[in-house]
Structure 1
Amino acid sequence: MHKKLYFQFAGSCFLLLFVFLGYLVKFYPTWLVSFDETLTRIIRSGYPFWTPFFLWVTKFANPTTIILLFLAVLAVLVINKYYAEALWLSIGTIGIAGLFNPLIKLVFLRERPTLEHLVTESSFSFPSGHSTGSMVFYGTLLFLVPVFFKQPFWQWGLRILLGLLIGCIGISRIYVGVHFPSDVLGGFCVGLSWLLLTYPYYLQKRFVWRFTRKQL
C-alpha cells in the first residue's frame, strides 16, 4: 500500500511538472529561453565530434524502430502468457507514445528550434515524441526486466543500460537541433507520469491474472 502511494505521488509530481512546463510554453515561452539556450549550448559544445554517436542513438526512438521492437517484445510476452505485461506495454506504447503525444503537440503548437537540423522532422516541438516514446517503451521494459531475467546482476545491468539509453535519446534530440531541452523534459515527464501512476495497477492486474490461472 505504501509503495503504491509513493509511486502515485511521484507520478503526480511529474504530471504537474509537465502541466507547468506546458503552461509556460503556451503562455510565457520567453521564460524558458535562458534555460533552453544554456542547456543547448552545453550539449552542442561537442559538435561535430559527437554527431555520429547521437545520429545513431536517436534512431532507437524513431517510430519504425519502436514499432518493430514493440511487436517483437509483445510477441514474446503473449507467447509466454505474460498478459498483464503485454497489456501494460501496449497501452503505453500505442496510447501514450503513439496517440496522446502527437495530439497534445497540437495544443501547444511550438515551433522547433532554428538551429541546423541534423535529422528531418515536420511536426511540432513540445513535448518531444522521441523522449516520450523512449521513456514509455524502454521505461516499461526497465520495469519488466525481472520477467525476463531472474539474476540480480543481469537485472541491474539491463536497468542501467536502459536508463542510459533513455537519457542519451533525450540528449540526442537537443544535439541534432530538433528540440529544446524543455521539449525533452516535457516528454520525459509525460512518460514518467504514465509509468509511475500505472505501475501499481499493473502489479495488481498481474497478481489477479496469475492467481486466476493457477486456480484454473
Structure 2
Amino acid sequence: MKYKKGKLWKIPTLVVCAVLFGLLAADISGSYVTAPIDVAAYHILRSFESSAATGFFKIMTNMVHPVVLLVISLSMIHILKQRKYFIALLGNLILTVLLNVAIKGSFMRIRPPQEMHLVMESGYSFPSGHAMVAASFYGFLAYMLKQADLKKSQRYAFTVLNALIVFLVGCSRIYLGVHYATDVIGGFCVSVMYLILYTEVISHYFAAEALDAAHHHLDVKQELVLSFAYAFRGIFDGIKNERNMMIHYSVVVLVVVFGVTLKLTVTEWGICLILCGMVIALEQVNTAIEAVVDLVTEEHKELARLAKDTAAGAVLVAAITAAIVGGLIFFPKLAQLFGL
C-alpha cells in the first residue's frame, strides 16, 4: 500500500525530531555543547524584562493550566461541533503528562538556578512539561480544525493562532527562568513525534466504518490497522454506552490534574497509571461479558447471573484497591498543602 501523499511529510518530520531530541538528550547528559544556546535564548528574552512583559509571559505559561485547557476544550468542541473528539482530546492530555513525567524521571536534569526564577517551580527540567502539553494540546486542536467544516481562511487563522500560542508558551518558560531553551526544544520534539502517531491512531479509529466496508479486500498490514481501529472503537463505545466507564475516565482526569498540581514522583505516577489501567481494563471486560451474556441468554439463568456478578465484583475489588492506594498517595500531600 502506498503512503498517502498528504502524509509524506510525517516520516521526515519524525526522523528530524527523533534525531534532534537524541542529540539534545545526549548533550545534556554530558558535554553541554548547547549551553551557549541556552544562555543566548535566556538573555534575549530577559532583555525585554518589565512588569508588563512578566505579566504577559505569566499569562502565556498559564495557557496550559488544567482549568484553562478544560475550558478551551469544551469551547472548541462546541464551536466546531466535534463532540466525537472530546475523549480523544482528554486522552491526549493524559498521555502527554504521563509521557513527560516518564522522560523527566529518566534524565533528571536540574532546573536553572533558583535566582533566575520569576515563578515558583519544582521537579526536573528536561523536557519542558509546559512545552510538551502546549504542543500536543494546541497541535491536536489544529488537527480538529482540519476535520471541521470551516472555510480555508478560518482554518488557517486558527492554526496560526495555535502555533503562536505554542511558541509563546515555550518562550514564557525561558523568560520566567524555570527552563533552558533546550528543555523547550526537547519538549516540542517529543510532542511532535507523539502527536503524529496519536493522530494517526485517532484517524484510523474514526475511519473504522470505511475499513469495515472494504474488509474482504484488505492485506495483512490493513488487517493490523483494522484490529487497532476495532480496539479503539471498543474503548470509545464503552465510554458512550456505559455510565460506569465515563465515571472511571473522569476519575483518571482528576488523578492527572491533582497529580500535576501535587507534583507526584515518577514512582507514584507509575502506581496511579497501573491502578487506573487495571480498573478500566476490568470494566471493559465486564462490559463485554454483560453484552455476551445478554446476547445469548434471553431468560434468567443462574450461571448467567453468576458470570455477570463475578465480573462486576472483579471491577469493584480493583476500584476499592485503587481508591485505598490513591488515598495513601494523595491524602498526605493534600494535608501538607493545606497545612494539616
TM-score normalised by the shorter chain: which range applies? 0.7 to 0.9
Please name the residue that 1:145 is paired with.
Answer: 145
Please name the residue that 1:14 is paired with.
Answer: 17
CA 1:63–1:87 in structure 2 vs 1: closer, same or farther (change >3 Å)?
Answer: closer
Distance of 1:81 and 1:58 partners within structure 2: 27
Distance of 2:77 and 2:209 partners within structure 1: 18
Distance of 1:200 and 1:80 partners within structure 2: 17
> With structure 2 as the length reference, what TM-score do the two structures score?
0.55
The code of the aligned residue for 1:200 comes to E
Distance of 2:60 and 2:210 partners within structure 1: 37
| In the alignment, structure 1 residue 60 sits paired with structure 2 residue 63 | yes
The count of aligned residue pairs is: 207
CA 1:138–1:182 in structure 2 vs 1: closer, same or farther (change >3 Å)?
Answer: same
Larger Rg: 2
The code of the aligned residue for 2:132 comes to T
CA 1:81–1:44 in structure 2 vs 1: closer, same or farther (change >3 Å)?
Answer: closer
CA 1:110–1:39 in structure 2 vs 1: closer, same or farther (change >3 Å)?
Answer: same
The 5-angstrom pairing of residues 51-200 of structure 1 reads: 51-70=54-73, 72=74, 82=84, 85-86=85-86, 88-96=88-96, 98-114=97-113, 115-200=115-200
1:157-212 superposed Cα distances (whole Å, 9 cap, x missing partner): 11111110000000000001100000000100011111223333433322224676
1:27-57 superposed Cα distances (whole Å, 9 cap, x missing partner): 22x3121111011111111012511111111
The code of the aligned residue for 1:101 comes to N
Alignment root-mean-square deviation, CA: 2.6
The code of the aligned residue for 1:111 comes to I
Deviation of 1:74 after TM superposition, in Å, equals 9.2
Please name the residue that 1:24 is paired with.
Answer: 27
Which structure has more relative contact order (CA 8 Å, sep 6+)? It is 1
> With structure 1 as the length reference, what TM-score do the two structures score?
0.84
The code of the aligned residue for 2:59 comes to W
Structure 2 gaps, min length 5: 214-340
Deviation of 1:151 after TM superposition, in Å, equals 1.3
Distance of 1:36 and 1:174 partners within structure 2: 9
CA 1:151–1:212 in structure 2 vs 1: closer, same or farther (change >3 Å)?
Answer: farther
Distance of 1:20 and 1:91 partners within structure 2: 29
Q: Percent identity?
A: 28
1:100-131 superposed Cα distances (whole Å, 9 cap, x missing partner): 10121111111111143111111111000000
Distance of 1:91 and 1:37 partners within structure 2: 35
Aligned residues of 1:7 and 1:200 also touching (Cα < 8 A): no
Aligned residues of 1:149 and 1:155 also touching (Cα < 8 A): no
Aligned residues of 1:110 and 1:126 also touching (Cα < 8 A): yes
CA 1:206–1:124 in structure 2 vs 1: closer, same or farther (change >3 Å)?
Answer: same
CA 1:112–1:173 in structure 2 vs 1: closer, same or farther (change >3 Å)?
Answer: same
Distance of 1:66 and 1:121 partners within structure 2: 20
